[in-house]
Amino acid sequence: MGLSSFSYICITNNPALKGLVKHLEYMDASSLDVLKKGRALVHEGWELLASPFYGNFKPNQQPYRTLVLRKNNGGNGGLPDAQSLSLIEDSVRFYENSHWIMPPGRLADNIEKDFRYMDMILLEETFRQYGILTSPVKSYSEVVDK
């Protein structure tokens, strides 16, 4: 089955990804909201292409979260992918059980920029692998000054 048989989507609360990633759904929301949106898509038959736990950040350590998913248009009957379902349910539960989730926009601008960059760079190879990065990232400031 070729790449054309798949649909891709990137869900994020990271504004630095606007214009860098195809099929982007930006959410002005918390990282938990991003995970819940991803969970809804997994229940509709979408598959996670990277773990929601990438970077091993705890909810109180990183305000940005990005998910990359694909849907097999050839059909698996719309049934959820078992591994994706397990990962997304575990991540939502973990975030919901956290005492505090760091919201975007609460820290000094230079620190926020670093967090936006970390989120992007941790998924850069996934973006490249699935052909959804619109252009090469040339510099740190190109990514974070958005």
* Model pLDDT for residues 4-25, shown as the tens digit of each residue: 567 999 999 999 999 999 999 9
Task: Classify residue 28 by its DSSP letter.
Answer: S
User: How far, in Å, CA of 52 to CA of 42, rounded?
Assistant: 12
Instruction: Report pLDDT digits (tens) over 25-72.
Output: 999 999 999 999 999 999 999 999 999 999 999 999 999 999 999 997
90 residue type, one letter:
D
Structural domain span for residue 97:
3-134
Asked if residue 27 is part of any domain, the answer here is yes
Looking at the 3D structure of the chain, how many domains does it have? Answer: 1
Using only the alpha carbons of the chain, give its radius of gyration. Answer: 15
Residue 44 included in any domain: yes
Query: Residue 139 domain-assigned?
Result: no
142 belongs to a structural domain: no
Q: What is the pTM of this model?
A: 0.89
Q: How far is CA 124 from CA 32, 40, 44, 56, 127, in A?
A: 21, 24, 25, 16, 5
